[in-house]
Amino acid sequence: MSYTHDVLEMSKKRNPAEPEFIQALAEVLETLDPVLEQHPEYQEAQILERLVEPERVVIFRVPWQGDDGTYHVNRGFRIQFNSALGPYKGGLRFHPTVNLGIMKFLAFEQIFKNSLTGLQIGGGKGGSDFDPKGKSDGEVMRFCQSFMTELSRHVGPDTDVPAGDIGVGGREIGYLFGQYKRLCNEFTGVLTGKGLNWGGSLVRPEATGYGAVYFAQEMLGGVGDSLDGKTAIVSGSGNVAQFTCQKLLQFGAKPVTLSDSSGYIHDPDGIDKEKLAWVMELKNIRRGRIKEYADEFKCEYIAGKRPWEVPGDAAFPSATQNEISKGEAETLIKNGCKVVAEGANMPTVPEGVDAFIKARVLFGPGKAANAGGVATSGLEMSQNAMRLPWSFEEVDEKLHGIMKGIYRSSADAAQRYHQAGNFVVGANIAGFMKVADAMIDQGLV
Ligand code: NDP
Ligand code: 2IT
């Protein structure tokens, strides 16, 4: 049996109730055999055993009070998984499904994603099973203040720098930052995704969606094609989905779907600039449901389903993990989908990924395709450290360059290990080697 197999089996025994974490581990470990054969020094240093164990896990109580005076208790998490390349970096997710296994899968993915960006950032993730849906601004603020009251002991601009993820956007980052500042008496870049007039970076809100589209454009460019004129199927309707649509429109593509956890809309005429502005107001200000789009623009709303049954040339899963099943991947392939760029983290089940690769669909895995968000967070950290902001054009150009770099290093690594065109293998290998080498350099820690 191989080294990767042994470590995966050990991890399954050690983490019996964490299926998403095991899924993320398997997806990485299964691609590393050729590297480990060529580099026995990794096994000698027990790199995999060390890599699959977080450096630190913090779990804490988050008590808060509702508007009606009732008391509530949620669970808070911060996984500080790997600091070989820099301070822990990764988002915070507020969603009722959050649990230890989901936090660990996200933090594990983040190690390789952050490595691929070429920036000095380690891997982390955090969040809570708090559900911001239906809560007032005051309730969200009190929750965030309570959450940060504990988290503040564990983070810092050179230690661990959280950001947003599902359920955590500009509003939540603001409340979290305010509380950190009050507790620690320092105005530092402890969080990214901050407001523009208090240390945030231009392009950070746009970055994940823009980056996913840049990555898709690079994959298509590699085979002499482009997004121009393509019909795109997009899931989700939050931060990543919105800016994916915006960049798709700029590249001449036509997004025709958006979704939320209740269902999806299909607008065959395309979600144009004006309709997208309406969606942003609906989701970011009014915090309504995507069904209202169908009422407003007179198109189809399909309740309780995901958009993958709609024919299209390109797919941008931008909602959550495991949102493309094997059957849905097969439907996309049958309908002629040529390119998939994962804006979400691990949105495709392993059998779906296999189906895409087998059908030679250009498949950009999350840790490569959605790295634009954290990369721009890294750029926000640089600007905070310099206390000097860059222009929109400067940040966007850097983001574009980083996405091209991730495409290149993933494509090269895949080619080097005789799997040309397989960006899953390429991204895992390229991301892994930098972390493994840094761990060896830094001794047994
Ligand atoms: P948002 O909270 O802004 O939006 C999330 C969207 O996904 C909403 O439309 C939401 O619908 C939908 N969604 C969430 N959970 C589920 C679910 N269980 N089933 C169906 N739909 C669901 O989050 P983001 O746009 O920031 O994040 C989307 C994805 O992108 C996540 O996987 C995240 O990890 C990933 N990502 C985000 C980055 C960022 O910078 N924000 C960076 C890299 C990756 P509803 O409102 O009904 O819950
Ligand atoms: O999954 C992710 O990469 C994020 N949610 C963004 C993390 C960050 O630190 O910007």
* Coil, helix or strand at residue 319: coil
Sort 393 into a burial class: Cβ within 10 Å, 0-12 / 13-18 / 19+. Answer: exposed
Residue 133 domain flag: yes
Is pLDDT above 80 for 295?
yes
Residue 77 domain flag: yes
Residues 291 and 149 in one domain: no
The mean pLDDT value for 301-313 works out to: 98
Tally DSSP H helices, then E strands, for the chain: 18, 13
Residue 444 domain flag: no
pLDDT tens-digit map of 189-232: 999 999 999 999 999 999 999 999 999 999 999 999 999 999 99
Element (H, E) at 254: strand 254-255
8 A C-beta contact, residue 174 and residue 146:
no
Structural domain count, the chain: 2
The mean pLDDT value for 108-129 works out to: 99
Which of the listed residues 164, 198, 232 is the one where a domain comes to its end?
Answer: 198
Residue 157 domain flag: yes
Cα of first residue to Cα of last residue in the chain, in angstroms, is 27
Dist. CA 391 → ligand 1 center (Å): 27
Residues 185 and 300 in one domain: no
pLDDT tens-digit map of 399-433: 999 999 999 999 999 999 999 999 999 999 999 99
Q: Which amino acid is at 70?
A: T
Residue 378 domain flag: no
Residues 184 and 222 in one domain: no
Q: Which amino acid is at 229?
A: G
Which pLDDT belongs to residue 414?
98
The mean pLDDT value for 244-266 works out to: 98
Residues 213 and 356 in one domain: yes
Dist. CA 372 → ligand 2 center (Å): 9
From 89, 104, 113, 125, the catalytic residue: 125
User: What does the alpha-carbon distance between residue 36 and residue 48 come to, in Å, rounded to a whole number?
Assistant: 10
Residues 166 and 275 in one domain: no
Catalytic site residue 125? yes
CA dihedral 232, 238, 239, 241 (to 10 degrees): -10
Q: Are strands 71-82 and 122-128 parallel, antiparallel or unpaired?
A: antiparallel
Say which residues have a Cβ less than 8 Å from residue 13's Cβ, sequence separation at least 6.
Answer: none
Which pLDDT belongs to residue 293?
98
Residues 279 and 329 in one domain: yes
Which pLDDT belongs to residue 374?
99
Could you tell me the CA-to-CA distances from 167 to 131, 240, 392 in Å, in that order? 8, 12, 25
Residues 98 and 117 in one domain: yes
Is pLDDT above 90 for 171?
yes
Residue 97 domain flag: yes
Which pLDDT belongs to residue 175?
98
Q: Kindly indicate the confidence band of residue 280, based on its pLDDT and cuts at 50, 70 and 90.
A: very high
Counting ligand 2 atoms within 8 A of each CB, the residue from 377, 382, 402, 403 with the most, and so the one to mutate, is 377
User: What does the alpha-carbon distance between residue 353 and residue 331 come to, in Å, rounded to a whole number?
Assistant: 13
Which CATH number goes with the domain that contains 130?
A: 3.40.50.10860
Which CATH number goes with the domain that contains 352?
A: 3.40.50.720
- Pure H helices in 316-418: 326-334, 350-358, 366-369, 371-386, 392-416
Residue-range definition of the domain harbouring residue 178? 53-198
Is pLDDT above 90 for 1?
no
Which pLDDT belongs to residue 9?
98
Residues 163 and 290 in one domain: no
Asked if residue 201 has its Cβ within 6 Å of ligand 2, the reply is no
Say which residues have a Cβ less than 8 Å from residue 277's Cβ, sequence separation at least 6.
Answer: none
8 A C-beta contact, residue 301 and residue 264:
yes
The mean pLDDT value for 36-48 works out to: 97
Residue 251 domain flag: yes
Residues 356 and 298 in one domain: yes
Residues 166 and 287 in one domain: no
Residues 160 and 261 in one domain: no
Could you tell me the CA-to-CA distances from 122 to 50, 154, 161 in Å, in that order? 14, 15, 10
Which pLDDT belongs to residue 35?
97
Could you tell me the CA-to-CA distances from 264 to 258, 267, 303 in Å, in that order? 6, 10, 7
Residues 103 and 159 in one domain: yes
Q: Which of 253, 247, 254, 257 is nearest to 214 (CA)?
A: 247
Which of the listed residues 150, 165, 198 is the one where a domain comes to its end?
Answer: 198
Residue 255: Cβ within 10 Å count: 26
Q: Are strands 56-65 and 71-82 parallel, antiparallel or unpaired?
A: antiparallel
CA dihedral 169, 170, 173, 178 (to 10 degrees): -160
Radius of gyration for the chain, computed over Cα atoms and rounded to the nearest angstrom = 21
The mean pLDDT value for 64-78 works out to: 98
The mean pLDDT value for 383-389 works out to: 97
Q: Kindly indicate the confidence band of residue 142, based on its pLDDT and cuts at 50, 70 and 90.
A: very high
Asked if residue 373 has its Cβ within 6 Å of ligand 2, the reply is yes
Element (H, E) at 423: helix 423-441
Strands (E), 129-229: 160-163
Dist. CA 89 → ligand 2 center (Å): 8
Which of the listed residues 318, 349, 364 is the one where a domain comes to its end?
Answer: 364
Q: Whose CA is nearest to atom 4 of ligand 2?
A: 91
Q: Mean pLDDT, the chain, as a whole number?
A: 98
The DSSP annotation for 41-72 comes to: HHHHTTHHHHHTS-SEEEEEEEEEE-TTS-EE
Residue 233 domain flag: yes
Asked if residue 32 has its Cβ within 6 Å of ligand 2, the reply is no
